[in-house]
Structure 1
Amino acid sequence: MKIREIILGTHNITATAAFYTQSLQLPVISEGGRHISLQAGSSILTFEQQETVTPPIYHIAFNIPHNQLQEAIQWLQNFTTLLPVTDSSHIADFSNWNAHAVYFYDNNGNLLELIARHGLENASAQLYIDCISELGVVTENPTAYADQLINRYGLTIFSRQPRLEQFTALGDDNGLLIIVKEGRNWFPTSVPAQYFPATITLENNGNATTLSL
């Protein structure tokens, strides 16, 4: 499964544009007074200005070349603080996913992740963002919602992650929907997941689908 585009809300489009263009160095596809669309590898990341009471907060992961994690850490430390995963490390070791990852916040408080998935043949001599590989989806009933997406759109359970009552991953190493129960803390933080609207365009088995989450 591939994530072609996600559309998210922000309370500060100006600061968001500055973070993603200056810090993460993503190229601009289009922008206006109330939106910006950025090229994130093979995916598009779009933010739209919103005036909701509560500032929206999301979880987004980006695939990087699987041999470039240390380079990613050095790069991120130039402009942000990595979040601790354990008392002694900022690196998440997902052995069952055959992956390593690091986490940090953007200007909105969104939980961002750079993940090196060793099952992908994307080794590179240089660090780059390959694609948007995960979007967190918050719901009261992850099992029921996952079943709905499976039945309606032909999505599949991530083969590396058994289903849990509060956590279900749909897709594969290229793209995942991370479906979690509202109130469950986003790993590796103590921030409880909240629902905020988002739009995602997926490509699955050659078919493109746009979902309003």
Structure 2
Amino acid sequence: MKITQVELFIANFEETISFYKDQLHWDLLNTKDGKATFRVGESLLVLHQNEESKHYYHFAFNIPPNLFHSAKHWIQQRMTLLTEDGDDEVDFTESKAKALYFEDPAGNIIEYIARSTTPTALTVEFSPTQLVGISEIGVSTNDVKIVVEELMGMGIFPRNNENIYESQFLNFMGEAEEGNYIIVGPVGRRWIFSEKPGKETPTIIHTDRGIFRYSI
């Protein structure tokens, strides 16, 4: 499964656009009528202005594994990394990946993750052009089983045929070799490297197997 586009509904719209454009140096394709579209690697990130609801999301981007430390240095020059138990990065030993986290003005928890399955870069210096694309988007719901079954109906199955969890744990929907996941978890479960519990948010996810829409 590949994630080609994600649409989010956020507050602090203008400040967030500026953050992505001027601090992260993402490619702003257009902004019009309360909607902004960024190209990030092979993916599109579409932001819809919604100042009233104060939604926040967790989403991630794949980066080449040989650029993790360079990417971390690049980010640290521009903002403060989020921490967990005093650490500003995490090593997912089982899935052979390293990740770092930071927050945008809308309160989203953003992750740059370097997976062993992602091709290495030809350069040793990170730049925003080295972002591969959207790697993960979180969906928090009170109906985990229903959401998982809908994704399975689209041909998007749990990673490595893992068990489906309706409480406490996250469900990574997608193939491990692709490194692209729709993460389905229960409302209230804390997103790591933050103090924010997962909450229901409107989300539109475009994949190579169809479009998944989560409404509230």
TM-score, normalization by structure 1: 0.90
Partner AA of 1:140 in structure 2: N
Partner AA of 2:83 in structure 1: P
> Mapping of 1:21-170 within 5 angstroms?
21-52=21-52, 54-87=53-86, 89-125=87-123, 126-127=125-126, 128-150=130-152, 152-159=153-160, 163-166=164-167, 167-170=170-173
Q: 2:63·2:118 contact (CA, 8 Å) conserved in 1?
A: no
Partner AA of 2:194 in structure 1: T
Alpha-carbon offset, residue 212 of structure 1 = 1.1
Q: 2:117·2:179 contact (CA, 8 Å) conserved in 1?
A: no
> Which ranges in structure 1 are unaligned for 5 or more consecutive residues?
none
- Paired with 1:160 and 1:134, the residues of 2 have a C-alpha distance of 18
Alpha-carbon offset, residue 75 of structure 1 = 0.8
SS at match of 1:97: coil
Give the root-mean-square deviation of aligned CA atoms.
1.7
Partner AA of 1:112 in structure 2: I
> Which ranges in structure 2 are unaligned for 5 or more consecutive residues?
none
- Paired with 2:38 and 2:162, the residues of 1 have a C-alpha distance of 30
SS at match of 1:16: helix
Partner AA of 2:131 in structure 1: I
SS at match of 1:71: helix
- Paired with 1:199 and 1:55, the residues of 2 have a C-alpha distance of 17
The superposition leaves residues 124-163 of structure 1 with CA deviations (integer Å, 9 ceiling, x where unpaired) of 414221101100001113234212310x201111129654
SS at match of 1:67: helix
Q: 1:61 to 1:161 in 2, by over 3 A?
A: farther
Partner AA of 2:44 in structure 1: I
